[in-house]
Structure 1
Amino acid sequence: MPLYEHVYVARQDVSPAQVEALSDELTSIIKEHGGSIVKTEYWGLRNLQYKIAKNRKGHYSLMHLDAPAEAINEMERQMRIKEDILRFMTLRVEEHDEEPSPVMSRRDRSDRD
């Protein structure tokens, strides 16, 4: 099956627990269509470069997916309906990195300083 990286930004006024629930919903959609989630990362509440729908911040999440194209299409269709999701992007990749993403490794370095 093809491999994908998927990042989405949720509204700033939802809680991290609600973002986790959104990720769980997306995971169930992928699994229903025969795919699997390799890894998920919650990047936290971060500043946006510009306002999106009157939001200055957003909750960022990354998902590594191993799923057929139909599963990705259904997940993106569901995301367009949800008002809590501001933006999303899905990219097809050749392979997934086993290490944490650069965003997470940068956060780890700043926590130690």
Structure 2
Amino acid sequence: MSNYELMVIFTPVLSEEDYKAAQKKFVDLVKDNGGEVSHENPWGLKSLAYPIQKKTTGMYLVLEYTAPSDFNEKLKIQLNRDENVLRYMFTKLDKHAVAYNTRKKGNYEAEPKPVEA
């Protein structure tokens, strides 16, 4: 099992409920195929660097997950079939990226340390 990061850009015309349903669909797909989602980060509506299908904004979602290597092909098929997905990108995370992401999440969730003068 390897660690992966998936970034998906959904069409901006989705309602909040549809966006959450699409988000849940891909999280459930990972879990149903023996994977485990370690972090789910919905970015919401953001501007695109260039128009995609005549749209200048998109709803972003970033998932970090652990799954068998053959699972990504199944996920790719589902992403290609979903008409609400504008773009997606898989990234295989090495051990340093996983450690960095864990440390980064830990720093945001931890209490700020007092600074001595």
TM bucket normalised to smaller: 0.7 to 0.9
Answer with 1 or 2: which has the greater Rg: 2
Residue 50 of structure 2 is matched in structure 1 by 50
| CA apart distance, 1:17 | 2.5
| CA apart distance, 1:28 | 1.5
TM-score, with structure 1 as normaliser: 0.82
TM-score, with structure 2 as normaliser: 0.80
Residue 64 of structure 1 is matched in structure 2 by 64
Residue 24 of structure 1 is matched in structure 2 by 24
Whole-angstrom distance in 1 between the partners of 2:73 and 2:32: 13
Q: How does 1:90-101 map onto structure 2 within 5 Å? A: 90-95=90-95, 96=98, 97-98=101-102, 99-100=104-105
SS in structure 2 opposite 1:37?
Answer: strand
Residue 37 of structure 1 is matched in structure 2 by 37
Residue 82 of structure 1 is matched in structure 2 by 82
Whole-angstrom distance in 2 between the partners of 1:16 and 1:29: 20
| Dislocated runs of 4+, deviation >2 Å | none
CA contact (8 A) 1:33 1:70 kept: no
Q: Which consecutive residues of structure 2, in runs of 5 or more, have no partner in the other structure?
A: 109-117
Deviations 1:78-111 (A, max 9, x none): 01001100000000011421234xxx9xxxxxxx
CA RMSD in angstroms, aligned pairs only: 1.5
Whole-angstrom distance in 2 between the partners of 1:70 and 1:27: 17
Instruction: Percent identity, please.
Output: 24
**How many aligned positions are there?**
101
Residue 5 of structure 2 is matched in structure 1 by 5
Whole-angstrom distance in 1 between the partners of 2:67 and 2:16: 26
Q: Which consecutive residues of structure 1, in runs of 5 or more, have no partner in the other structure?
A: 105-113
CA contact (8 A) 1:47 1:56 kept: yes
